[in-house]
Chain A
Amino acid sequence: MQTIALVHPALALVLSPLLLGVINRTKAIFAGRVGQPLAQPYRDLWKLLRKGAVYSRTTTWVFRAAPVVGLAAILLATTLLPLAALPALLAFPGDFILLAYLLGLVRFFAVIGALDTGSSFEGMGASREVQFSALAEPALLLGLAAVAYHTHSLSLSEMISGLSSTHWSQAGAMQALLAASLFMVLLTENARIPVDDPNTHLELTMIHEVMVLDFGGPDFAFILYGASLKLWVFCALLTGLALPVRTGNLWIEVAVAVIAIFGIAVLVGVVESCMARLRLIRIPQLLVGAGLLSVLALVLSLR
């Protein structure tokens, strides 16, 4: 294990809430508002960590365990992910499968945490969450299969370092399809428009926000922090696979990758400003579409 591999988890821990700030600022600029300070997510977390908590009498230990298990799993996910030339802390053949399934564990506990309240609203959100993520998972794993096939490697670190900077000119079509598919998965898994609207005020139309209605205090801080880390994980994955920048200098590459991650956050903000949330029955079509893009990327990588 190299000490340098700790850099990426550290960056993720420190910078991930800033991604939400960047998205919010992008949306504010589009709407002609000044917007909240970039550091507002940090202030929210700090405020929540200092508060007490109110629990529903219906809930059990599952409700209290869900944020803890979710945050633990997502923290581990950051140790499996390389950033540009920085290798992952833990790399082994098949680590990306573990990554995908750790995210599944986060979801499992988020869903049963929501069901523990006995609220219909939270049941509704949980039901939508499992539906959309069940359809997003094949898109993610097939997309990664395309890269695995292309680079002859089975660990994320090797897959990402196996892509060269001329990759876009060699296999541009595959790369574009893959990036599009992963971006759709990113939007779905992180509850962004067009799948879910984090700013909506009507519980009936929410997915992720409604699942966490009853959480408060440190528990809610864990959930928000976990959500920002999850966004970081997907952005870092997309950056690594879609933007292979090879300069030879480690720190320049890391800096480019971090800028790219924030670039993706800006892109998410632009998408949120430019389009409305899709109707819920349209979302499966979007996800099946993402899965088909991954299949096409895989077919192209077989050449």
Chain B
Amino acid sequence: MTLLLIGVGIMLLGGVSALLASGSPRLPVALGIGGVAGGAILGLIPTLRVLLGGQTDSLQHAWSVPYGAFSVELDPLSAFFLLPILTVSLLAAIYGGEYLGGLRGARCLGAHHFFFNLLVASMVMVVLARNGVLFLVCWELMSLASFFLVTFEDENESARAAGWTYLVATHIGTAFLLALFVLLGHGGAGALDFAEMAARGQAGLVDGAGLLFALAVVGFGTKAGFMPLHIWLPEAHPAAPSHVSAVMSGVMIKTGIYGLLRVLTFLGAPAPWWGWLLLAIGASSGILGVLFALAQHDLKRLLAYHSVENIGIIALGLGVGLIGMSYGSLPLLVLGFGGGLLHVLNHALFKGLLFLGAGAVLHSTGTREIDHLGGLLKRMPWTGVAFLIGAVAISGLPPLNGFISELLIYLGAYRGATEPRSLAGLAVLAVIPALALIGGHATACFTKAFGIVFLGEPRGSAAARAHETGLAMRVPLVVLATGCVAVGFCAPWTIGVLGGVVAAVSGRPAGELAAELAFASEALSTVVVVSVGFAALVALLAVGRSRLLAGRQVSESVTWDCGYASPSARMQYTASSFAQPLTLLFDKVLRTRRHFAPPRGLFPLSRSTFHTATPDVFQEHVYAPGFAAIDRTLGRLRWLQHGRVQLYVLYIAVTILVLLVWKLG
């Protein structure tokens, strides 16, 4: 525990000294990265100890804030979220040093490193905090730090707008959390301590648990990106620098999942509808997320929608687990929560990898527009291979990690269908078509992203001039790709770690879950046999193929183009044309806008253009009109805001006076 807090201290110290050293071109970078690296490595030691050993570690300290206490604890659930937070942040920090290297001297990087370190430190504290006030303070710090990171390129109108959307969304979420903790903690001193809340939950003393759960879903769901609360993700992730997107999408949104799970331990036995609600949210986030991703041709926006999709998969897992919890079915509980939690880790690995890969593409070509890229695999071989591994993993295909967590959730759903003949079993059957649809469309989307960006011929001069990035940007990609492969091939061993976490979430002793955990790890060991067999077969066939071709005539030519005389790179299929059949099929939902000026006449003189854009349906048809209406209504009160400071002080004085009279009288 002490090591972990020292680690947080080092991160903050690095951040503050980077800010102070802003004048120097190189110093802030070294101080900032050094802070994150030192802190993360120190922090990983206790994290791994708790994950592998299973014991918890806590620390209390008095704090003068009302209802507050500096109470922190490292239990398996916290450690499980801490692991991706520390590793992805460390890798992203190293990557960021080179990514922003071109701006050294031209921009003040001190502030960026300060906020980056603050973000990492506050994420660590969010999962450690065991007091409502401390939790909310860290939560707010995390939101503000990430806001300043999103608006790094604040000279761009779009970055400012994205930051604004994020700020509003995250604070609406926090408002719900505030209400949640006020309702949870009305019980005098110490009532906001998590230990106290958990004890009340266990004893079944919580009233209005359903309302509290709903508040938690909205509050934490806004951070996690549950559809339809997701609208900040596709704005903020493309606007932020890529290593920040990797941290935000890979790990920061998972603090929403963490918060939801932590609050669940305060609420006692769940009602069945909680699980159903999460299943519905998961299915809609997953399916709509992947459909919107398919329609995008901005690489980072596409990845942002995939975060919504993967949060949907996680929610499906948690929903299965909750239904298992409320109906007392252990198979559903273990497989659902286990699959959902493992997907948290997996998504951190492959989404971090994909965002860093997209950042390398952006760094090297200067564009995020998929339709202007192409042929990058030859120019950026390392990035290309890493991106391919990430793409296979996120499509949920064997033998990589994405398949393992999806398999656990599928198994939970099928177990629900076969074991107890109850209503619960029927509900979880809905998981099967949802996951199948998500899987098929994710394959479509990532064959598109990888195929159009990295394969074929360059579609523009920027792509043709692309070059491989330096070591500091390549190493994090390789490490994360290795992680995706390692979790895939070591799947049965992850179950041991997951057991402790599932026990912490469900409040059941680990011994009770042992049989189900053994079931899962047995299934996964056969999967690993298949994966190893697959690797061996690929090697065998590759050797066989090169033996066959050895000594024969192997020549190179142009791609077969049906006899067309002068093909050009612009004739290739694009991201938009590749996805067109599917986006057309789901046009009722996606409402893609097409701007088409066709060529006119036999010898067209004017340029013809074609352009598509798929803005977010919820943003366009729900939030924009809704906020406009609020703006109009509240605009009538605008006379209160006149900008005279003396009168503002008067408002404060009058308010305090009124409160005083009310309290005394």
Q: Which residues of A contact B (CB under 8 A)?
A: 49, 51-60, 62, 64-65, 67-69, 71-73, 75-76, 79-80, 90-95, 97-98, 100-102, 104-105, 107-108, 111-112, 115-124, 126-128, 130-131, 133-138, 140-142, 145, 148-149, 152-154, 203, 213-214, 217-219, 222, 280, 284, 291, 295, 298, 302
Contact = CB atoms under 8 A, between A and B. Distances in A.
A76 B527 CA distance: 11
A145 B523 contact: no
Contacts of B429: 145, 298
A214 B432 contact: no
B534 A72 contact: yes
Contacts of A58: 375, 456-457, 558-559
17 contacts: A52-B552, A57-B556, A58-B558, A72-B534, A93-B523, A97-B407, A101-B439, A104-B439, A105-B398, A112-B388, A115-B447, A121-B562, A123-B572, A124-B577, A148-B417, A154-B418, A298-B429
A134 B447 contact: no
A235 B2 CA distance: 62
A145 B581 contact: no
B411 interface: yes
Given A68-B545, A112-B450, A123 B577 contact: yes
Nearest to A125: B573
Contacts of B526: 90-92, 95
B538 interface: yes
B541 interface: yes
B602 interface: no
Given A98-B527, A154-B411, 14 more contacts: A49-B548, A54-B555, A57-B558, A112-B447, A115-B456, A117-B456, A119-B561, A119-B572, A121-B562, A123-B572, A127-B578, A131-B585, A218-B545, A298-B429
A142 B433 contact: yes
Interface in B362-414: 374-375, 377-378, 388, 392, 395-398, 403, 407, 410-411, 414
Interface in B532-555: 533-534, 537-538, 540-542, 545, 548-549, 552-555
B443 A53 contact: no
Interface in B502-518: none
A116 B415 CA distance: 41
Contacts of A62: 377, 388, 455
Contact of A219 (B432, B441, B545): B545
Contacts of A152: 418
Given A97-B407, A112-B447, A134-B437, A76 B534 contact: yes
B440 A135 contact: yes
Contact of B426 (A95, A107, A124, A302): A302
B433 A124 contact: no
A222 B560 contact: no
Given A98-B398, A117-B559, A126-B451, A145 B417 contact: yes
**Max chain B C-beta neighbours (<10 A), residue from A55, A67, A71, A145:** A145
B579 interface: yes
A116 B451 contact: yes
Contact of A130 (B447, B537, B552): B447
A45 B388 CA distance: 30
A93 B541 CA distance: 29
Contacts of A65: 542
Nearest to B584: A281
B571 interface: yes
B436 interface: yes
A138 B435 CA distance: 8
B585 A55 contact: no
Contacts of B443: 104, 107-108, 111, 130, 133-134
Given A93-B523, A105-B397, A141-B436, A131 B572 contact: no
Contacts of B558: 56-58
A108 B395 contact: yes
A295 B434 CA distance: 13
A280 B451 CA distance: 23
Given A101-B403, A123-B573, A53 B433 contact: no
B580 interface: yes
A72 B545 CA distance: 12
A169 B541 CA distance: 46
Nearest to A140: B436
Contacts of A75: 537
A141 B572 contact: no
A93 B457 CA distance: 44
**Max chain A C-beta neighbours (<10 A), residue from B403, B411, B417, B527:** B417
Contact of A203 (B396, B530, B559, B562): B562
A65 B437 CA distance: 27
Contacts of B561: 119, 121
Contacts, number: 242
Identify whether the interface residues of B are mostly helix, strand, loop, or mixed: helix
B153 interface: no
Contact of A153 (B378, B410, B418, B534): B418
Contacts of B578: 115, 123, 126-127
Interface of B: 374-375, 377-378, 388, 392, 395-398, 403, 407, 410-411, 414-415, 417-418, 426, 429, 432-433, 435-437, 439-441, 443-444, 446-448, 450-452, 455-457, 519, 522-523, 526-527, 529-530, 533-534, 537-538, 540-542, 545, 548-549, 552-562, 569, 571-573, 577-582, 585
A137 B438 CA distance: 10
B585 A108 contact: no
A286 to B, nearest CB: 13
A98 B396 CA distance: 11
Given A118-B572, A130-B447, A131-B581, A56 B559 contact: yes
Contact of B441 (A124, A134, A154, A284): A134
Which 8 residue pairs are nearest across A and B when measured between Cβ atoms? A123-B573, A134-B440, A115-B451, A118-B456, A130-B444, A52-B552, A72-B537, A52-B553
A302 B437 CA distance: 22
Nearest to B441: A134
A149 B582 contact: no
A221 to B, nearest CB: 9
A98 B572 contact: no
A60 B384 CA distance: 11
Given A56-B557, A115-B451, A213-B560, A124 B573 contact: yes
Contact of A112 (B417, B455, B560, B573): B455
A149 B618 CA distance: 37
B391 to A, nearest CB: 8
Nearest to B451: A115
Nearest to A71: B541
Contacts of A51: 552
A134 B447 CA distance: 12
A204 B21 CA distance: 62
**Max chain B C-beta neighbours (<10 A), residue from A67, A152, A218:** A218
A246 B572 CA distance: 54
Given A57-B557, A101-B396, A108-B447, A154 B414 contact: yes
Contacts of B411: 93-94, 97, 154
Given A68-B538, A94-B414, A97-B407, A138 B436 contact: yes
B426 A142 contact: no
B562 to A, nearest CB: 6
Given A126-B447, A128-B581, A105 B440 contact: no
A138 B433 contact: yes
Given A92-B526, A105-B398, A153-B418, A98 B407 contact: yes
Contact of A76 (B432, B537, B582): B537
Contacts of B447: 108, 111-112, 115, 126, 130
